[in-house]
Amino acid sequence: MTALAHGGRCDPALIAAARGGDADALVSLIAAAQPDIRRYAARNCRAADIDDAVQETLLLLYRRVGTLRAVTSFSAWLFSVARRACYRLLRRSLGWAETPAEDAEARLVHLPADDIRLDLSRAIQSLPQHYREVILLRDIEEFSIDEIAGVLGLTRESVKARIHRARLMIREYLVRE
């Protein structure tokens, strides 16, 4: 399977195939995404950090493309990963300590998938009921904000606030582990 670039974007069918575990599609997706990541890193990283940022981004793409929730969010997700890589490299070069969230993220990346699932499951179970409901509906059942508001009888703003707070609590739980 070959990658088809459409205005700087990868073919949605290629992204979907890579998400599904097609190894050839994943290789083609990495090859297609690499020039865009390099251009983004060249604009947002120090010159000395460009290659490292591209490498970190491609590695995370390889490891995590299967967790991507929607094909349409691929470009935004990829550039967000590249931006964080640039920022992390800049912090290191300035001698700044990594934040606890970055330490936890680095720890989680190297854990087996079963351990990550177990930690995440425990974090979700530790949430108060009203936060657990919205996280399960949004991140597991993939309901939209409007659908969650309808099911729970809440306003959109309340749902969004609860999702935000629940994710912060999950992150805090995982950092403490």
- The residue extents of the domains of the chain are 12-96, 104-176
Q: How far apart are the first and last CA of the chain?
A: 41
pLDDT of residue 171: 83
pLDDT of residue 103: 56
pLDDT of residue 101: 54
Question: Domain 104-176, what fold?
Answer: Arc Repressor Mutant, subunit A (1.10.10)
Q: Which residues of the chain have pLDDT under 50?
A: 1-8
pLDDT of residue 102: 55
pLDDT of residue 129: 93
Question: Domain 12-96, what fold?
Answer: Rna Polymerase Sigma Factor; Chain: A (1.10.1740)
pLDDT of residue 35: 92
pLDDT of residue 14: 87
pLDDT of residue 94: 78
SS3 143: coil
